[in-house]
Structure 1
Amino acid sequence: MSNEQQSIKLSLLLTGNELMSGDIVDSNSAMLAEALSPFGCTIYYKATVGDDLALLEQEIARIAGFSDVLVVNGGLGPTVDDLTAQALANVMRVDLLEHPQAMADLEQWCKSKNIAFNAANKKQAILPDGVGLVPNATGSAVGFSAEINGCTVYCTPGVPSELKTMFSEEILPRLPLDSNAKVKRQRYRVFGMGESGIQERVFKSGLKLPKELELGFRASLPMLELKLQANHEQDYALLEHFSEQVEQLFGAHIVTDDNRSIAHVVKDLLLAQSKRVTFAESCTGGLISSMLTELDGASGVFDAGFVTYSNEMKQKMLGVEEATLIAHGAVSQAVVEQMLSGALDRSGADLGVAVSGIAGPQGGTTDKPVGTVWVAWGSKSEIKAHCFYFPVDRKRFQILVAALGFDLLRRELMQVNEEAAYFKERSLKNKN
């Protein structure tokens, strides 16, 4: 959508040394863009600055000069490096004053949280003279707004959960957005295929989207999001038709068309089928179990998991035979099959996954390089196993292996006969 079609020019100014150094990854701009999208609006301009008062003043004044709305995000806390209020006051050429309502709200917040009200907290209620308040329902730092050269400036907290509530409940209703916007989209979360693989499949299929629809990708870990969008109501039928085409094209690689994680999808399938699951983990160190147990309702499908990092614990906890370890090594088909068999016996679960691999950066060999992982999955009556290869850094390796375990379970629960693309693309034998 072109900028000329937007109802307003809304810009975003992020502030904080943590953003500049990479200590904090910006997720707020994506969240704001997501909230604006249904109204046919995108972020017109975005900038990030550190905790530098002069630079912050300069950017507020500059961006306000070409924007209808400016959201300043961050710098509202109680510490000396929180400079947004002072910067806005300097641009407005007004004094900082104690705001009675902001002070009352802050005192009440501290009381409700049983937090001592002190001078540092009080700083959050010292605001530019004449600003309007933007309530913060979930945090201590009140938001505030002002007009600068015809631009409405909203100053908001940097904490994502606080910003999300403030923006959706307080700021969005105040914006002159197109309430008749007709943007509609279909989202799919795909596992086991990267952007290049998805684009190649689209190209080979001959699928040609009409100009009325937009196709987009958003890479994330461990799943990739695929989006189809129609900007006008008269194109909804096209969107529905081509959504069906996309679903047929990617089949079981589509994990979900909502925001659930892959672990959440598996949990829901297990609950629906009244089945319980167990995990025997080595290289993932408990991550698979953690991804499941962080979800509400996990107790309905999960009793026990086993983290057996050493060979000794594989033997003691899961009954893996010493002779098997000696003959094949910990990263082998025979070992993961025995790990899973032991976990199923000891937990009484219906299904399970076992993983043993080389996360790196050391420990690889010619036959089993860093990134090699053996995965076993299934039930007591049928245990399957396969060797995969993920030549990525240690953290990404663990995340991908954990997600792979869930995806294999998902396909098992759904009785999917179609072989996933990763059996070919991520098999160790195809690493060259």
Structure 2
Amino acid sequence: MKLEMICTGEEVLAGQIVDTNAAWFSNTLMEQGVECQRRTTVGDRLEDLVAVFKERSTEADVILVNGGLGPTSDDLSTEAMALAKGEDLVENSLWRNRLESWFTRNGRVMAESNLKQALLPESAIMIDNPVGTACGFAVKLNRAWLFFTPGVPFEFKQMVKEQFIPFINERFEIAGDVSLRKYLTLGQGESSLADALEAIVLPEGLTIGYRTSMPHIEIKLFARGLSAISEMDNIEKQIRFLLGTAIVADNKKTLAEEIHGLLLGSGSSLSVAESCTGGMIASQLVAFAGSSSYFHQGLITYCNESKVKVLGVKAETLDYHGAVSIETVEEMANGARAILDSDYALATSGIAGPTGGTDNKPVGTVAIALATKGGVYSQMIKLPRRSRDLVRSLSTAVAFDMLRRALLGEAVIIDYGSISRFKK
């Protein structure tokens, strides 16, 4: 089965919004053993939509079309499909009743324009959208089934899980003979990682890919066919041997997700005191449901006065060593941990830039500490020629990695290839 995706919308084509639906869809279908082989993005122009529907329907077996099912004048997917088929648009009475009931139930007056959402190509099969007003539908054109979904992410995702995947399983034999493993890395550039892995001789059907998502680079081991899948464990051992400490998580998008998994249900607790990272550590953790079971508090002690009054940092420490120093972050971490007697506490203080640096402590200098019940670990890293956002996100990632290593009983302070440290 050859699967493709067509993403519609001027805002997607122009880069005004990031198309997270497409990435989610490809990954979700990969987990079902189906590889998405092509993705096309097209704007809200009727002639372009018609053309791309006709063109891709001669090549693919199934095409998921995302977006363009709303009530406004720039929602053109349904009309374009009718033109591509040479059919009239016909009102679907079932969906009209659903629309009227939805608006009545929610105490709202249905605009005349919403009736457009009940119009479908004459040969279309209606596809239920249980959480929205945009009616999905499927149409056969040339060799392909085109399956239309709304662009609203939560509507789209529910329809893919509840309608699209069953739809293709009913009509095609899904071999499921593909497999993907992902390794999250920190501290090495893409070229360095590629050079290190060049020595691996890959069996037929296995490929290694790279995806940059700073502050991480994700390595993807992809297998096509049962023979290739059987070789994945062997190749994974070689990847781990060659990359060593550069790998910080498996099949996770971020280190925050890895930390959440390690802390959830562990009985351990965490507090955070942030200066240059400005709440980034805390924010990434509380994005996960259940983080309240281990996360005690996140304190943004941005000015020196708050470091003294909230965390108990000594004024003389700040006067003598400065806010960006090993001594200061160690006292910040100890102070944060002591407030609620947390098992662990992370602290950061640095110069994110673009100004504020000195000869001794240039922009990109960041001090990070991890306090535990057994002691404090700290380091000062150098991140020159990075943007303010990247300094903050890299510092957050290093802090998470220090905690990750402590939770796993590994050495907390290590050397990263592209992240240098001030030596004591």
* TM > 0.5 fold call: yes
CA 179–222 in structure 1, closer or farther in 2 if over 3 Å, else same = same
Please provide the CA RMSD for this pair. Answer: 2.7
Structure 1 residue 408, shift from structure 2 partner = 0.7
Between stretches 67-76 and 254-263, larger displacement belongs to 254-263
1:56·1:87 contact (CA, 8 Å) conserved in 2? Answer: yes
Is 2:57 aligned against 1:64?
A: yes
CA deviation vs aligned residue, 1:185-229 (integer Å, no higher than 9, x gap): 3332333333223223324xx433323422222222443332323
Partner of 2:406: 412
Partner of 1:396: 390
Counterpart selection for 1:323 from 306, 316, 340: 316
Q: How many residues align?
A: 420
Partner of 2:364: 371
Counterpart selection for 1:187 from 178, 182, 186: 182
1:192·1:420 contact (CA, 8 Å) conserved in 2? Answer: no
CA distance in 1, matches of 2:372, 2:338: 10
Between stretches 122-131 and 339-348, larger displacement belongs to 122-131
2:406·2:412 contact (CA, 8 Å) conserved in 1? Answer: no
CA deviation vs aligned residue, 1:52-84 (integer Å, no higher than 9, x gap): 223222322333343333332211112222121
1:283·1:356 contact (CA, 8 Å) conserved in 2? Answer: yes
Between stretches 109-118 and 383-392, larger displacement belongs to 109-118
Is 2:40 aligned against 1:47?
A: yes
SS at match of 1:425: coil
CA distance in 2, matches of 1:120, 1:370: 55
Structure 1 residue 252, shift from structure 2 partner = 4.6
**Code of the aligned partner of 1:313:** S
Matches within 5 A, 1:257-276: 257-259=250-252, 261-276=254-269
**Code of the aligned partner of 1:106:** L
Is 2:15 aligned against 1:22?
A: yes
Between stretches 395-404 and 254-263, larger displacement belongs to 254-263
Structure 1 residue 174, shift from structure 2 partner = 2.9
Is 2:200 aligned against 1:207?
A: yes
CA distance in 2, matches of 1:125, 1:113: 18
CA deviation vs aligned residue, 1:68-103 (integer Å, no higher than 9, x gap): 333322111122221212222232333333211222
Partner of 2:293: 300
Between stretches 81-90 and 116-125, larger displacement belongs to 116-125
2:379·2:422 contact (CA, 8 Å) conserved in 1? Answer: no
CA distance in 1, matches of 2:351, 2:335: 21
Partner of 2:193: 198
Partner of 1:135: 128
CA deviation vs aligned residue, 1:91-122 (integer Å, no higher than 9, x gap): 23333332112222333444555554332433
CA 386–419 in structure 1, closer or farther in 2 if over 3 Å, else same = closer
1:267·1:298 contact (CA, 8 Å) conserved in 2? Answer: yes
TM-score (norm 2): 0.89
Between stretches 99-108 and 253-262, larger displacement belongs to 253-262
Partner of 2:210: 217
SS at match of 2:296: strand
1:253·1:420 contact (CA, 8 Å) conserved in 2? Answer: no
Partner of 1:73: 66
SS at match of 2:231: helix
CA distance in 2, matches of 1:370, 1:125: 58
Counterpart selection for 1:338 from 331, 336, 339: 331
**Code of the aligned partner of 1:100:** S
Partner of 1:347: 340
2:33·2:174 contact (CA, 8 Å) conserved in 1? Answer: no
Structure 1 runs of 4+ off > 6 angstroms? Answer: none
Unaligned runs of 5+ in 1: 1-6
2:129·2:155 contact (CA, 8 Å) conserved in 1? Answer: yes
TM-score (norm 1): 0.87
CA distance in 1, matches of 2:258, 2:34: 31
Partner of 2:376: 383
**Code of the aligned partner of 1:290:** S
Structure 1 residue 124, shift from structure 2 partner = 1.8
* Identical columns (%): 36
CA 278–249 in structure 1, closer or farther in 2 if over 3 Å, else same = same
